[in-house]
A and B are shown apart, each in its own frame.
Chain A
Amino acid sequence: MTAAITTFQPPLSQPGFRLFDGPLRDVADVSADQIGVVGMPSDWTHSSRLGTRFGPEALRRATTFLQSMRPQGASFDPDTRRRTVPATDWLVDCGDAEITAQDVDATTQAIAAMTERLTVAGAIPLALGGDHYNSFPACLGYSRGLAKRASDACFGYIQIDGHLDFSDRLGAWGSHNHATNARRISELPNIDVSNMVWIGIAGWVDGGDLALIEKQGGRVYSAKDVHEMGAAEVMRQALAHAMQGCDELYLSIDIDAMDAGYLPGTGSIVHSGITPRQYYDLLDGLAEAPLGGLDIVEVSPPLDPSERTEFLAAEMLFRILRRFRTRPVTGL
């Protein structure tokens, strides 16, 4: 009896959660073609409803939970109607970037340093927000890394969002906040506005911002476009537009494009009418897209007591990362 106790090996694991229950490693240890996860637990740059600083932890918890409920071996994927097995060594969680409250510059550089390192190594940075401003430092690092990896390369950009986030400034919050991230990204050296596409925009938007985007060749698909044209067709057109003359795609997933009736746990809610199914169809449309980097932002667990927001967001990650996290098999 005593021997049995002393030889017992409890199933200890690392405390806390990692995205998809992946391993926790330094950014320097991520290999080419792996997904490198960077947490951005900051809502300091949101102007009103806070709580997205708890988003990365919620996404890690939700993806780990959902992962545990999925088949661990070969199985039939009803969405793609393909037989797959879970991939191995496809994702590494690099932990959170250092967030310095009240110092947007320091936070920006800390996030960018991590995504740059991942991009230079040939990995795909996946940044977890955080409010949507953090999309800019994540993309900034990706942009710098891409320039180092391939100096002539340029990237297209798709933002699924209820809002344009293309303001130059926002009141007292200045030039770097959750309403200006896309504008700041448009100013990066290896992207052109004509390769930027927005999907899911709802309600009333600023006329000046919209005019500026379209004058420079950017494309905006409203939530109504998604309803009338269908999610798959919208994404097909969006991808074609974003990738004209580009080598890679950067994708920014703002969960608030989904109707707040389904997904209330986010800072700037809209009633777009976009359902979870339509959102997933949009992401499925990028199944074979040449993803160079991506982020998912605005998950605010404190704003949704039902916790369904973080699970809907986790499912978005399952969709967009399907080709990485599974391998097709035959003969089952």
Chain B
Amino acid sequence: MPLRSAPLPRMAGHLSFMRAQTKAIGDVRPGDLAVLGVPFEDTSAPYAGQSLAPRALRETSVYFGWHANPQFSHPVDIDARQDIQTDGLHERLCDLGDISRGPNEAIHAALRAVTSKISRNGACAVILGGSDRLSQTVQSALPECQTAQLGGKLSNVRDFHIAPLPNGSTTTCNLDTAAQRAAFAQWRDISKPLFVRFDLSVFETSLSALCDRPRLGGCDLDTVVQWLSVLGQQEVSAIMLTGLNPNRPGMGVVKVGQRLMVTALLAFIYARLGFGIYHPGSLTSEENILT
């Protein structure tokens, strides 16, 4: 009997983030994670290509579409040996598509309106950039929001900075200090919306080489995963991914940056949905597969 008789499809289906369902913005419900693409360039960036990041991130995310593939059981964090119960992920994760191209003002207005609408609905916007200049537009849509920033340039001293690009700040990228967790807890005002800026420059450059603002001495994946798990346990109104340029000269075939970001973002998504939190009595891998 032949092992396979039909030609192999390489890719199939609509490209949504993690193969999530697509939704209209009016259908976003409280507790949802609503993915939104902002495929636009920063015209002062040293290289063109940031506008390709949302598509690159979605393509990479398909690999992690566990909930959409009935042949998979459920993911396990192999490092922590922790089962991630993804039941309900398909209902709570949705992809709204991209902001449409148009005049500059129209793009900003649309991003502001969509972010505001998602936030008012009690959901969390997962914004796939694109230029980090648009992050100011997201902030303006979340009145009096606090901003936690991983990587990127320091823009406001009132923000909580995790391993920003070095410019004299004393912030380190070491999570393993109670002082840093305590500092975050002290800084956080739960009466205000929380906005997370996640720039690829938070990582050590040698891990991806796909960032237009390379840095030495950045974080490793494990540290960023831990921070995003911590942040995912907060009532985050929006998280925006920036800094990825999948089209850096000569690097078009190297998909390392997007895999790095999506892997880390997964920790945020699982934590935000409560999947990554340890609950005594939750099923082990073996129990789960046998039920």
Contact = CB atoms under 8 A, between A and B. Distances in A.
Q: Do A and B bind each other?
A: yes
Interface of A: 44-45, 47-50, 102-105, 108, 167-176, 201-212, 214-215, 220, 222-224, 259-262, 264, 268-271, 273, 302-305
Interface string B1-17: 01110011111100000
8 contacts: A104-B3, A167-B71, A168-B71, A172-B8, A204-B266, A260-B259, A273-B221, A302-B253
Interface of B: 2-4, 7-12, 63-64, 66, 69, 71-79, 83-84, 204, 206-209, 220-222, 250-251, 253-256, 259-260, 263, 266, 284-286, 288-290
B79 A224 contact: yes
A175 B9 CA distance: 14
Contacts of B12: 172
A205 B207 contact: no
Nearest to A173: B8
Nearest to B74: A207
Contacts of B284: 211
A223 B79 contact: yes
A110 to B, nearest CB: 13
A260 B69 contact: no
A210 B285 contact: yes
Contact of B207 (A49, A108, A261): A261
Contacts of B73: 206-209, 211
Contacts of B8: 44-45, 47, 102, 172-173
Contacts of A201: 78
Contacts of A260: 207, 256, 259-260
Closest A-B pairs by Cβ, 4 of them: A208-B73, A211-B285, A204-B75, A261-B207
A47 B63 CA distance: 10
Residue from A204, A207, A303 with most neighbouring chain B CB atoms (10 Å): A207
Contacts of A49: 255
B71 A171 contact: yes
A292 to B, nearest CB: 25
A176 B71 contact: no
Given A103-B2, A105-B4, 18 more contacts: A44-B8, A45-B8, A50-B10, A102-B8, A173-B4, A174-B3, A203-B263, A204-B76, A207-B288, A211-B286, A222-B79, A223-B79, A261-B204, A261-B207, A271-B207, A271-B221, A271-B260, A273-B220
